[in-house]
Amino acid sequence: MYNERILQYEHETMGKEIRDLLYRYQGNIWLDSVGRSFDDREIYRIIVGNRTAEKKILFTGAIHGREYMTAKLLVKQTEHFLQYMCEGGNEDFDVAVHVIPMVNPDGAALCHRGIEGIRKKELKEKLLKIKEKEDFVRWKSNARGVDLNRNFDAFWKEYSCEKQKPSAEKYKGAYPESEVETKALTRLTRKEKFQATISYHSSGEVIYWDFGQQGKLREDTKKLAKVIGDTTGYEIIDGWDKIAPAGYKDWALLEMKIPSVTIEIGKGDSPLSENEFPEIWEKNKDIWKNILRIM
């Protein structure tokens, strides 16, 4: 049974909140889609700030289905930033802030509603064959059983994933960028040439930034991580050899040479309890402003 806590932040809920922001802040926020998931859901992209600015930054969330609280956080951060800019903020941030709150809407739908959250009959049939537990509450992968944050071309071949076939988590896919959601992110990143990317995950209250990068890229990434650490109080983790590769942050650093970090919010197991959100919000509400001040 999917309780009220689990049902509190679905893809549809997120869409309604974003449309409300579009109405309230017309001319200061823009919405489009970078693609559609395998189960035909929009992968929304929000832009706020100066849409035509040369400097661009990307925030992403919910690349893992059960981590949908990161989508809620990113939408609330969007609203908080719009309020600041439109209701008295005196800083001129000449930056376009791109936000993809929910990279994996199908995975989130499985967490929220179980198999009935999937629309396509063929996907339902395949998922019922590969599910490993009685329900999908802790489902991490997309609707094809691929862990999207292990599907990027950053030591993908070298990564010996625990699962060798579609699964709730830890299956890296048949080849890098095998999934439409992964392709949507890499296509956008190649096109926009961001100055920084920040990926929200849960949980652990830590910041990952190190992927063996060197020189200025290393210095800039560590500077970004320090600002986030100073703001949130989260621990900054050095080293990467013991951390599983092939994630979006890893690819952005290795292939695109973009300063990129992963932020893990919350303390409990995912999906995080709603009771954690007020503390998470207090620690993360000023992230955008503090990052933009160093760009």
Which tens digits make up the pLDDT trace of 34-82?
999 999 999 999 999 999 999 999 999 999 999 999 999 999 999 999 9
91 in any annotated domain: yes
The domain tally of the chain equals 1
Q: What is the predicted pLDDT for the residue at 134?
A: 63
Q: Is 6 a residue whose pLDDT tops 70?
A: no
| pLDDT for 211 beyond 50 | yes
In this predicted structure, what is the pLDDT of residue 238? 93
Question: Strand, coil or helix: what is 261?
Answer: strand
* Residue-wise pLDDT tens digits, 117-174: 999 999 999 999 887 666 899 999 999 999 999 999 999 999 988 889 999 999 999 9
| Structural domain contains residue 20 | yes
119 located within any domain: yes
pLDDT tens-place string over residues 189-209: 999 999 999 999 999 999 999
Q: Name the DSSP class of 145.
A: S
- Give pairs for 160-164: CB < 8 Å, separation 24+: 161/244
Q: Which of 10, 177, 181, 264 is catalytic?
A: 264
CATH number at residue 154: 3.40.630.10
Domain presence at residue 254: yes
Task: Answer yes or no: is 1 within a domain.
Answer: no
Helices and strands per DSSP (H, E), number in the chain? 9, 8
Is residue 17 one of the residues assigned to a domain? yes
Residue 172 within any structural domain of the chain: yes
Range of the domain at 131: 6-292
> Is 83 within a domain?
yes
Dmax over CA atoms of the chain, in Å, equals 56
Instruction: Supply the DSSP string of 82-139, one letter for each residue.
Output: HHHHHTT------EEEEEES-S-HHHHHHHHHGGGG---HHHHHHHHHH--SS--TT-
State the pLDDT at residue 79. Answer: 97
Confidence of residue 242 (pLDDT cuts 50, 70, 90): low
Active site residue 264: yes
